[in-house]
Structure 1
Amino acid sequence: MKTKNRILQTALELFNEKGINEVTLRGIALNVGMSQGNLNYHFRTKSEIVSELYYNLVEEMDEAMKKITLDQPVFSLLYESSLVSMNILYKYKFIAQDLHSVLESNSELKVHYLALQKMRKQQFLFLFQNMIAEDLMRKEELKNEYERLYERMNILGDNWINSANLFFQERSSKVAHYHSLLFEVIFPYLTQKGKEQYLKSL
């Protein structure tokens, strides 16, 4: 493994275990087995390491989504894509655990994250409209109801790890339980046809 990748892998493990604020460049270097001077040749600051790991997360997420077959029933697609996303997010769980501080301390990451969220919101709203057209979801009964549904899904998607760390010890049960919670959010908005297809996807 290349030195830069060893640094990133070690930093990821330490950030996940201790949190960003408790990890120093010196500590990362010590765990890699090098001097801080050698580490600084690759990364001058801890923020640079966090940025690299953030973009690695985004890249892994994009690559995983490309591998998911799009020509499958919509609920199977949603089920698979959300499970893949949550497993990758758990791999980089320190970002979700300290999302606010990560974004507030790095304006470039904040701009990227907000643009990413805006794009995903439009994708979900487009998906909801298609599901309404296919009689899988009912029409809105409240103003901006499905924009607010996406917002609730997004809040749960970004913050489930902190809750999971408090209530669950086993990694597998964390991901499985909170994946079910997130996937079930959509169920009350489905038509009878949608509910039948949803249940078949489980």
Structure 2
Amino acid sequence: MRNTKKNILSTSKLMFNKKGYSHVTIRMIALKLKISSGNLNYHFKKREDILEALYFEMVSEFDSRIKHLDKKEITLKTIKKDIHLSMQRMIDYRFFWTDLYNLLRQSKKIKTHFEEVYTNRIKGYHFLLDTLVNIGLIQNFEFVYERQFLIERMIGFSNTWIYNSLICNEKINAEYIDLQSDNLLYMLYPYFTDLGKEQYKSLTSHFFE
């Protein structure tokens, strides 16, 4: 029974990624798995239940990282690694990020949790920026909203980089993910101290050749 449920989620994720959530039905998933719709409905009564299960499967890793943020060593290298891991996780569930705002309307449960995550992400960014100031990698912000605007830009980019790649017909591979992780980290560049710029250049030396 556990394997059947796992197979349903795995197959649904692949089909949602390929066709988009709105173009995949319960019957199509059942046919792909070669099981009856009734058998599938035993595990998930409706398509929205599959969506919610996949969403919480995806965010379990994100939630864990945010919870343990204060226990990790913070350097630009570890930040970039964490960005890269998050982006790869997003690719695995890209159907959600390419249809984000529509899917948030599909499920009140997901929308409520996503709003909580958004609040926690803002807190996480504040913690990150405070730490970078304290260890001398970025300068203090001149006014409160300067920091807030930066955080909103970084979260906005994080939410939409996959969607933008599809618009521009970019091939999403390891090289592209690495470029986008550099792109997100670059938003901090205007605030770097000399030490911060030195660390950033050592991570992205190919930009400065």
Deviations along 1:92-131, one digit per CA (max 9) or x if unpaired, are: 0011011111111111111111111111211211221222
Q: Which residue of 2 aligns with 1:176?
A: 178
| Alpha-carbon offset, residue 56 of structure 1 | 0.3
CA distance in 1 between counterparts of 2:118 and 2:55 reads 14
Q: Which residue of 2 aligns with 1:42?
A: 43
| Alpha-carbon offset, residue 170 of structure 1 | 4.4
AA at the equivalent of 1:9: S
Q: Which residue of 2 aligns with 1:137?
A: 138
| Alpha-carbon offset, residue 173 of structure 1 | 3.4
Give ranges in structure 2 of 5+ residues lacking alignment: 205-209
Structure 1 range deviating more: 50-59 or 167-176:
167-176
AA at the equivalent of 2:181: H
Q: Which residues of 2 match residues 121-200 of structure 1 at below 5 A?
A: 121-166=122-167, 167-200=169-202
Deviations along 1:22-78, one digit per CA (max 9) or x if unpaired, are: 00000011111111111100101110000000000011334577899x554521121
Q: TM-score with structure 1 length normalisation?
A: 0.91
Q: Classify the secondary structure of the residue corresponding to 1:135.
A: coil
Give ranges in structure 1 of 5+ residues lacking alignment: none
CA distance in 2 between counterparts of 1:24 and 1:71 reads 42
Question: Is the 1:11–1:28 Cα contact (8 Å) retained in structure 2?
Answer: yes
Structure 1 range deviating more: 4-13 or 177-186:
177-186
CA distance in 1 between counterparts of 2:65 and 2:135 reads 27
The percentage of counterpart residues that share the same residue type is: 30
Question: Is the 2:157–2:184 Cα contact (8 Å) retained in structure 1?
Answer: yes
CA distance in 1 between counterparts of 2:62 and 2:124 reads 15
AA at the equivalent of 2:90: L
Question: Is the 2:80–2:182 Cα contact (8 Å) retained in structure 1?
Answer: no
Structure 1 range deviating more: 58-67 or 126-135:
58-67
CA distance in 1 between counterparts of 2:66 and 2:80 reads 12
Change beyond 3 A, Cα 1:110–1:79: same
| Alpha-carbon offset, residue 160 of structure 1 | 0.6
Runs of 4+ displaced beyond 6 Å: 64-68
CA distance in 1 between counterparts of 2:119 and 2:68 reads 23
Q: Which residues of 2 match residues 104-119 of structure 1 at below 5 A?
A: 104-119=105-120
Q: TM-score with structure 2 length normalisation?
A: 0.88
Q: Classify the secondary structure of the residue corresponding to 2:45.
A: coil
Q: Which residue of 2 aligns with 1:2?
A: 3
Q: Classify the secondary structure of the residue corresponding to 1:138.
A: coil
